Each structure stands twice: as structure tokens, then as C-alpha cells.
Amino acid sequence: MGRRKSQRKNIAMLDSDEDNSSVSSSSTARSDLMSVSGTDDVQVDKDSLLEQALDALYEKRGSTREKALAAIIEAFNTNLPHQFVEKKFATLLHQCLNSIKKGSSKEIALACHAIGLLALTVGSGDNAREILDESVAPISHALKSSSDSLKTVSLLECLAVVTFVSATETEETERSMQIMWQLLHPKLGSNVVAVKTPAAVVTAVVSTWAFLLTTMDGCSLNSKYWQESISYFSTLLDKDDRSVRISAGEALALIFETGIEKLAAGNKTTPDGSVLEGNKYREGYTHILGLKSKILNQVRSLSAEAGGKGSTKKDLNSQRNLFKDVLEFLEDGYIPDISMKIGGDSLQMSTWSELIQLNFLKHFLGGGFVKHMQDNELLHDVFGFTPKRKHILGVEHQMTSVEKRMFQSPNSVHNKARTQFLNKQRMLSKDRNVGHFAVGMGDEDSR
């Protein structure tokens, strides 16, 4: 593997409509000024507003609950309310889950976003474990009964974020990936007619599935599953919807980054321990090479696609740039190098895994991305990012008493969880040098 000798200034992996990362929003600036006052009183005021919004989630009127959820999301975007979370974590989680079970599509979408922000704010640890344990079943049930694209996409993104933050076992991540995959490959009864999946949902499934794949490693490899995933993503490259094509291209780049060809060439053992010999072994490896050859032709075509009816220049350029990156990677092993400004700091990324993680979290956090990248310890660990200490009006940011207990104490839940998270990241980084790929698609053989 190598890195490209020259850098393009605009890389398609980063959503250009959200490229305001180097400038903090006015609400973030106001939040910072309040935090620097040096007292816990300001935080108490913020928490009282959050508690009012939390109380409103008990109201019978759906529109009232929607407004309350929107206020909670705004609060978590502009400030990391650790003191409120320490006191009201369980109540907020279960009220949001109630909204998922009984709310309108809009309320469900807001509740999903609030749960995702809650997970990112609490980070790894016991509270994160509770979010995962309590959320998977209602999210899975809601996905099965959903016919609304907005609702489905929000549920998928919530499941992805919660699993990314909270899952500590491979099986937990595989379970969430399987739930996502079944939306594209449902198990249908003999009298059930398959319904075409909307492009927005296909894009969300592929994006969330790939986002979780960035955390996967060390599983038993089932050649049938990864061959099916590559074949399916290849078919998506021929779809009319540009967002579908782009999400499939990113997923394929991630799969090949893991060294799937080397693994296929060197691994003759199936998950049950039996050894592949003769034709079966050669067929599996040959099939991968054939798929890569087909994908190369598709990617080459998409990297030079001419504009067509209804296509905007911005979308077309995003596609061309992405597939130029993918083509260089598949042909020469060059990985796109990206340097991103966040406030006065620079974040460097040099793997598809990092790019996919950043792009997804940037999309999910939206206007709260800069604030979380500057102040969220979990994201600092994920990206190896250490921002400079912020100084506003010449005064260094002062932690509240609760933040000191949560973050500075060696025996705090946060520090214990951080150690566990970093150990997992080190293992992943070490194993990626060899190249592994694992796909948890479950019981696809039964179809």
C-alpha cells in the first residue's frame, strides 16, 4: 500500500455541503463562552432547560414531544451536558425508546438522533452498554414495520452509532449488521411479493453497514458471505441513483483495503475448520479476481462519467472524485490522503476506514460535528485527535466538578472504558496490517 504523491484539495469522501468544520457556529461559540465562566451555575441553567424538555416527553401531544426532542438534540449538539446525563441518562433513554415505539415518523427520527447523540456523549462504559442492550430490539422491530424512508434511515443511523460506540464483542456488531442487511435481502414467505427498496434506504443500509465494518476484525471468514457482499455491491454500481453508487463504491474500497485477495489466496480453511482443497479453493480465489476485474471496469467508467439529464455538477463531481480515488487504490494501492481543519487543529486521515468513519459521523452530527470533535473524548480516541486547548477571552476552559469526576479521576468509568477502547483499537490497527475481512450476514443460505 502507498499514499498518493499529490493531494486533491476536495475529496468526495467529505460532504462538501457540510464543509464548515473550520468555523465554529454561533451557537457553539455562545456555548463556549458560557462554559468558560468558571462556575457550575451556567451548567445548572442548561440542565434545567434540558430537564424541562425531558418532562415534555411525557406529554400526550405528539407535536409537543417533537419540539422537546428537537430541543434536546440542539442541546447535545452545542454542548456535552455530562452533568445532566449523569442524573437523567436512564430516563432520557427510555423516553426516547417510547417515542420510537409509538411516535410519528418525525418523532421517531428525532428520538433516534437523540439516542445516537446520547451514546456519543456517554462514550464507552456501563451506560453505553445499557443503550445497546435496550435499543436493539425496539429498533429492529421498528425497522421491520417501517414503510417510511425517513423513519427507516433514522433507525439505521441510530443502530449504527449505538453499536459503534457500545459493542465490545464481534457478535454484537454482526447482529446489527445482519439487521441492516435483511432490509435489502428480506426473508419472504411464499405468498409475499418483494417490494422495491427506495434508493435512500439502500444508501443508508450500505453506509451504516460499511461504518460498522470498519470496527470488525478477527472473525472466522466465510467465503460465501464476502463473495455475496462484493457481488451485490458491484450490482449497485450500475444503479441509476448516484448516492447508491457512491455508497457502494466506498464499501467496496473498504473491503479491498482489508487485503481480501491476500486472505483469499492464503486461507484454505473454512469456519468449521475443514480445509479447502483442489477445485473448491481455486474457484473461490478465481471468483474474487473475476469480481475485482469487473469492479475495476465499473469504477473506471464512473470516474469519467459524463453529465446526464437531471444530474447536478456538484453531485457529478463528487462521484468522479470518489471513483478516481477508488480506481487509484484498486490499481496502484494509493490511499487518499486527507487533512481536515477543525477549529485551529488539523486532522489527518490515510485509510478508507478512517474516511468512512469520519464521513458518517460528520453527517450524523451535522452542526454539532465541530463541537464534538473539539470536546468529545470518545471521538478523540477514535481518530487519534488531540485538539489544542481552547482559550476564549484569554481564559482556559474550566471543567465543571462533574466533568472532573467523570474524566480526570483515574478510577472513573470514562477512564476505564477509554483504556478498554484504546486496547481494542490497537488490536484492530495491528491486525489490519495483515489484512482481515469479516462479514456478519447470518442465515443467507436459507434464502
* DSSP 8-state code for residue 367: G
Give φ, ψ of 231 to 5 degrees. Answer: -60, -40
Residue 4 is placed in which grid cell?
498518493
State the pLDDT at residue 191.
Answer: 54
**Bridge partners of 395?**
392
Over the Cα atoms of the chain, what is R_g? Answer: 22
Give ∠ CA 213-342-394 in degrees, rounded to 5.
140
* Tens digits of pLDDT across the chain (447 residues): 555 544 444 443 444 444 444 333 334 433 433 433 344 555 557 778 999 999 999 999 999 999 999 999 999 999 899 999 999 999 999 999 999 999 999 999 999 999 999 999 999 889 999 999 999 999 999 999 888 999 999 999 999 999 999 999 888 999 999 999 999 987 655 555 567 899 999 999 999 999 999 998 644 445 566 778 899 999 999 999 999 999 999 999 999 887 765 555 555 444 444 444 444 545 666 777 888 999 999 999 999 887 654 467 777 888 899 999 999 999 998 888 888 888 888 898 889 999 999 999 999 999 999 999 999 999 999 999 988 754 333 334 445 555 444 444 444 444 445 555 555 554 555 454 444 333 334 444 444
Measured in residues, the chain has a length of 447
Task: Report pLDDT for 277.
Answer: 47
Q: Please give the model's pTM, rounded to 2 decimal places.
A: 0.78
Question: Are β-strands 334-335 and 2-3 bridged in parallel, bridged antiparallel, or unpaired?
Answer: parallel
SS3 351: coil
| Cα-based angle 169, 173, 176 (whole degrees, multiple of 5) | 145
**pLDDT at residue 290 in the model:** 85
The pair phi, psi for residue 416, each rounded to 5°, is -65, -45
User: CB neighbours (10 Å) of residue 149?
Assistant: 15
Could you give phi then psi for residue 341, rounded to 5 degrees? -85, 130
* DSSP characters over 100-136: HHHS-HHHHHHHHHHHHHHHHHH-SSHHHHHHHHHHH
Give pLDDT, residue 124. 83
SS3 for 3? Answer: strand
pLDDT on residue 389: 59
pLDDT of residue 31: 42
User: Residues 230, 291: contact at Cβ < 8 Å?
Assistant: yes
CA atoms of 129 and 136, how far apart (whole Å)? 11
